[in-house]
Amino acid sequence: MKNSIIFIIVLSFFGCKQPSSSNTVLQKQVDSLQIAVNNAYKPGLGEFMSEIQVHHAKLWFAGKEENWDLANFEIGEIQEALNDIPKYCSDRPEVKSIGMISAPIYNITNAIKEKDEKKFVNDFTVLTATCNDCHKETNHGFNLIKIPDVPPVTNQVFKPQ
Ligand code: HEC
């Protein structure tokens, strides 16, 4: 993104065949753009994890209520956040371990598609254990995730209507 913006600016400069005296003007624009990009808000790994935590809890209640549309939505939200992590958190070495969650996500997605509550419960247990496996592997084992006892919010309906 950052590189493509700079690339477009450089291209438009050559395209316009501006005199080389405008080099400094262009350089100033590139520099200020670079500063803006560097200062742009980027979500951190902990923020992605906190987001995943809520979807993980909602997923449980959606699945237990056999609300498969909602369960499908929640697993999609988890997947989206997981996809964004390597993009936004490339400075975190822990991201190398993210692949271990792919198979459990794939399995629970199938349980949801098959509307199989027993398989869902089993796959959710494996998914949760894998969250903790990654936390242990990345020295964050103190972030211990479990199957929730109560819904994470009281202002949302989990039963299918
Ligand atoms: C890359 C492997 C990895 C996987 C897979 C993973 N986590 Fe994490 N998780 C981390 C790391 C690293 C941290 C510490 C982040 C930080 O430094 O802020 C973390 C932190 C957390 C936190 C604490 C966030 C906070 O700021 O309070 C929660 C909650 C969490 N993870 C939930 C989950 C859940 C739920 C799953 C599974 C659906 C999961 N994580 C899967 C690596 C992982």
> pLDDT of 26-36, one tens digit each?
999 999 999 99
Give the DSSP per-residue string, the chain.
-HHHHHHHHHHHHHHTT--GGGHHHHHHHHHHHHHHHHHS----HHHHHHHHHHHHHHHHHHHHTT-HHHHHHHHHHHHHHHHHHHHH-TT-GGGGGGGGGHHHHHHHHHHHHTT-HHHHHHHHHHHHHHHHHHHHHTT-TTS-----SS-S-SSS--S--
| pLDDT for 152 | 96
Atom of ligand 1 nearest to the CA of 44: 18
Instruction: Show the tokens assigned to 58.
Output: 């909602």
Q: How far is the CA of 95 from the centre of ligand 1 (A)?
A: 10
Atom of ligand 1 nearest to the CA of 96: 1
Q: Give the residue among 82, 72, 69, 56 at the shortest CA–CA distance from 146.
A: 56
Question: What is the value of pTM for the model shown?
Answer: 0.86
- CA 142 from centroid of its chain's CA atoms: 21
| Contact 56 CB / ligand 1 (< 6 Å) | yes
- Architecture of the domain spanning 45-137: Up-down Bundle (1.20)
Residues of the chain below pLDDT 50? 1
> pLDDT of 86-113, one tens digit each?
999 999 999 999 999 999 999 999 999 9
Q: How far is the CA of 48 from the centre of ligand 1 (A)?
A: 8
| pLDDT for 116 | 98
| Contact 140 CB / ligand 1 (< 6 Å) | yes
| Contact 145 CB / ligand 1 (< 6 Å) | yes
Residue spans in the chain of domains classed CATH 1.20.120.290: 45-137
| Contact 135 CB / ligand 1 (< 6 Å) | yes
